């Protein structure tokens, strides 16, 4: 598979001419949905979900399918049976990719801020996108998409999270609010200059691609 980052939390996965897009939100480069066969959305926050972009993509491609939470599916009313609400434990095939669903809730930002539903997607048993939560799937993960900056986590928590998931490699996402200094600081702590996570750390630029699903899977939860 080939993974391409399209800004902040959005990535596109390609295999055998098929394209799967995860979390095209308000901070996503517009070309992310070009040629998409299927879309996964982890939760309803604007930086992960753009109703306008998805409605436009569905209008341009009558075969486009979308899997997401109940709340997001309700906001896409009118697209018809092409939107499927999924939750923890679900498994399905999206554009030829095998997908399993893990997690239920967005991470706690503050006790006074209501939580929203959030699901993570494990794609082809290799790539895990947790959305805005530090969910540990009950399966081995080769590549972890790590939300490196948000109001609900610390870098120390992220180090422990990567150690617990046990991937072979980590690709940073959810970094749209970081400047260059913040990106370097977080990357240093999660990479070779930090206490160690057991995984190779990569910070992809928008539009940059990397191969995933290669031999050498992660150790899985521990």
pLDDT tens-digit readout, 30-77: 899 999 999 999 999 999 999 999 999 999 999 999 999 999 999 999
CA distances 124 to 7, 22, 214, Å, are: 22, 14, 12
- H helical segments located in 30-99: 51-60, 70-75
Q: Tell me the C-alpha distance between 93 and 178, whole Å.
A: 34
CB 168 within 8 A of CB 194: no
Q: Tell me the C-alpha distance between 149 and 123, whole Å.
A: 23
pLDDT tens-digit readout, 126-148: 999 999 999 999 999 999 999 99
Determine the straight-line distance between the first and last CA of the chain, rounded to whole angstroms: 26
Q: Tell me the C-alpha distance between 156 and 150, whole Å.
A: 13
Q: Tell me the C-alpha distance between 198 and 97, whole Å.
A: 27
Q: Which conformational region is residue 28 in: left (phi greater than 0), alpha (psi within -120 to 50 degrees), or beta?
A: beta
pLDDT tens-digit readout, 172-207: 999 999 999 999 999 999 999 999 999 999 999 999
Is the CATH number 3.90.1150.10 carried by domain 2-108+117-208? Answer: no
Structure tokens that stand for 94 in this block: 């999206």
């Amino acid at each position: 598979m080939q993974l391409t980052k399209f800004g902040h939390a959005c990535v596109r996965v390609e295999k055998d001419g098929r394209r799967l897009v995860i979390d095209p939100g308000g901070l996503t480069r517009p070309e992310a949905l070009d040629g998409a066969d299927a879309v996964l959305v982890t939760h309803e926050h604007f930086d992960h979900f753009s109703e306008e972009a998805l409605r436009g993509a569905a209008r341009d491609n009558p075969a486009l399918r979308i899997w997401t939470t109940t709340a997001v599916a309700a906001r896409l009313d009118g697209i018809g049976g092409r939107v499927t609400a999924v939750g923890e434990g679900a498994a399905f095939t999206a554009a030829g990719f095998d997908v399993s669903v893990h997690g239920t809730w967005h991470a706690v930002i503050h006790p006074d801020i209501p939580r929203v539903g959030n699901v993570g997607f494990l794609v082809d048993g290799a790539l895990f996108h947790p959305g805005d939560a530090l969910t540990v799937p009950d399966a081995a993960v080769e590549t972890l998409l790590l939300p490196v900056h948000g109001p609900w986590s610390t870098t120390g928590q992220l180090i422990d999270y990567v150690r617990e998931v046990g991937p072979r490699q980590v690709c940073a996402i959810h970094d749209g609010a970081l400047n260059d200094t913040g990106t370097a600081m977080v990357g240093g702590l999660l990479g070779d200059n930090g206490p160690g996570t057991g995984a190779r750390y990569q910070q992809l630029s928008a539009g940059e691609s990397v191969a995933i699903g290669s031999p050498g899977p992660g150790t899985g939860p521990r």
